[in-house]
Amino acid sequence: MSSSSFDATDLDRLITGIQSWVEIESPTSDTAAVNRMVDRVQADAEPLPIVVERTAGTGGRGDILTLRTRDAGDRPGILILSHLDTVHPIGMLAGPLRFRRDGDKLYGPGIYDMKGGAYLAFAAFAAVASGNNARLPVSFLLTPDEEIGSVTSRDAIEAEAKRARFVLVTEPARDGGKIVTARKGVGRFELTTTGVPAHSGSRHQDGHSAIKEMARQVLAIEGMTDYARGVTTTVGMINGGTAPNVIPQYCHITADLRVREVKTGEEFESKILSLQPADKDVKLTITGGMNRPPFEKTPEIEALLKQAQTVGRAFGLDVKDTEMTGGGSDGNFTAALGVPTLDGLGIDGEGAHTEWEHAYISSIVPRAKLIQGLLETLG
Ligand SMILES: [Zn+2]
C-alpha cells in the first residue's frame, strides 16, 4: 500500500514549512535558540498520530527530540537522523542570509545544512505516519549539536542506531544531488606549548618561545598529509603570545585529521599524540583523538543504495552516490556500529556554512519523494 506521494502541488507548502524552520536561527552554542527550534518542531509534530519524546539537553546544549511511529514496538526499524543546529550566528537572517528566493535558489541560514533536508524528512515522516504506510517502525531523532561533533547527542544516536535495521541521514545532497555512502573519519586535537617568557630586548637569551616551538609542531602535523592514502591534517586555529616584545610563554592550536580507514585513524592519532618538543625547555601537551570513526561502504550499504535507486527510478530520479567525502556526520557513528546507513539524503544546494548558503527548489519534491519511498519500502 502506498500513500499519495508528493508532487508539484506540494511545493509551496514545503517551501513555507522550510521557511518556518529556517527563520528560527539556531547556532549550536546558543542553547535557548536551539530550544526555540526544538519547540517549533515539537509543535509541528504534536498534531501527528505519533509518539513525541523530548529529552532535556546536557552539557549546556539544546534538547533532543525523538518522534516515533505508533507501531514502533520492539522490532528493529528505520532511524532518521537530522540535526537542528546550524553554524550561523544569530543575525545572519537579518543580514546576508535573509530568507529569499532567487530563481531556483532558496537562501537562509542552515537551509542547505540541514534544515531543508530535516524539514523534507519531517514531511515524509508525517505523511508515512499519518497513512500508516511504513513497513517497519520509524524513529526520527533530531539533535542539537552536530556542528560541534555531537558530543551531547552521540549516546542517544548510538542507542537508537543499535535498535535500528537502517539509518537515513538528511545531511545535504552534493555534487548535483548525489547521496553519501562513505565518509572519512575525523580526529580533533588540541596542542598547547608552554615556554619560558623573557623580555625580547634585554633578556632574549633567557627565553624559550612557545610560538617558535609550536611552529615546528604545526609543520610536523601539516606534513602528515598524504593524499595518496586519503589522509589530511590541518591546523585550523592558532593563538599565542601576549605582546610584541615578550618571548611568548603560551601557544595553542587545534588540529583536524581526516582518514579513510579505522586503522589509519589509529596510526595517525598515535603519531599526533606522541609528538615531542624540539626545545626541551618548552612543555608540549596534546589532547584529543578520533572523534568520528570512518564510515565505510559495506555490501549492506551498497544494497541500501540499490533500494534508493529503485525508489528514485519509479519517479525518474537518478540516484547516485559520491566518492568518499571528507566531511563527517552522525552517519559515521551509525555506520561504524555496522548499521547500514545512507547519508546525504537531504536537500540539494550549495555553500554550506557560508554567507551564500542556498538550497535548490528543484530538489525539494524529488528529495521528499525519495525519503518517503524509502520509509515505505524498506523492510
Ligand atoms: Zn549538517
370 and 268 within one domain: no
Whether 2 is in a domain gets the answer: no
For 109-146, give the secondary structure using H, E and C. Answer: CCHHHHHHHHHHHHHHHHHHHHHCCCCCCEEEEEECCH
* Residues counted in the chain: 379
- Per DSSP, 156 falls in state H
226 and 323 within one domain: no
Domain boundary pick from 292, 323, 346: 292
Domain boundary pick from 240, 257, 292: 292
Neighbour count for residue 201 (Cβ, 10 Å): 8
Whether 3 is in a domain gets the answer: no
268 and 332 within one domain: no
Cα-to-centroid distance, 115 and ligand 1 (Å): 9
Domain around 121: 8-183+295-377
Whether 31 is in a domain gets the answer: yes
CA distance 86 to 127: 26
| Spacing of C-alpha 34 from chain mean position | 15
245 and 103 within one domain: no
Whether 1 is in a domain gets the answer: no
Neighbour count for residue 241 (Cβ, 10 Å): 15
Helices (H), ranges, 296-338: 299-313, 331-336
**What pTM value is reported for the model?**
0.89
Cα-to-centroid distance, 91 and ligand 1 (Å): 19
157 and 90 within one domain: yes
Cα-to-centroid distance, 24 and ligand 1 (Å): 16
Whether 250 is in a domain gets the answer: yes
Return the CATH number at 206. Answer: 3.30.70.360
Task: Write the DSSP assignment of 57-76 as a string of letters.
Answer: --TT---EEEEEETT-SSS-
Whether 36 is in a domain gets the answer: yes
Cα-to-centroid distance, 251 and ligand 1 (Å): 31
286 and 312 within one domain: no
207 and 85 within one domain: no
Q: Any bridge partners for residue 350, and if so which?
A: 358
The two beta strands, 138-143 and 77-83, are parallel
How many independent structural domains does the chain possess?
Answer: 2
Whether 162 is in a domain gets the answer: yes
Cα-to-centroid distance, 114 and ligand 1 (Å): 5
**pLDDT tens by residue, the chain, 379 residues:** 445 689 989 999 999 999 999 999 999 999 999 999 999 999 999 999 999 999 999 999 999 999 999 875 678 999 999 999 999 999 999 999 999 999 999 999 999 999 999 999 999 999 999 998 999 999 999 999 999 999 999 999 999 999 999 999 999 999 889 999 999 999 999 999 999 999 999 999 999 999 999 999 999 999 999 999 999 999 999 999 999 999 999 999 999 999 999 999 999 999 999 999 999 999 999 999 998 999 999 999 999 999 999 999 999 999 999 999 888 999 999 999 999 999 999 999 999 999 999 999 999 999 999 999 999 999 9
101 and 229 within one domain: no
The residues whose Cβ lies within 5 A of ligand 1, an ion, are 113-114, 171
228 and 145 within one domain: no
| 125 contacts 32 by C-beta, under 8 angstroms | no
Whether 93 is in a domain gets the answer: yes
45 and 166 within one domain: yes
Return the CATH number at 321. Answer: 3.40.630.10
CA distance 80 to 12: 24
39 and 121 within one domain: yes
Domain boundary pick from 292, 313, 333: 292
CA distance 92 to 298: 39
Three-state DSSP class for 238?
Answer: strand
169 and 210 within one domain: no
Task: Write the DSSP assignment of 157-193 as a string of letters.
Answer: HHHHHHTEEEEEE-PPPBTTTBBBS-B-EEEEEEEEE
Cα-to-centroid distance, 354 and ligand 1 (Å): 13
CA distance 183 to 185: 7
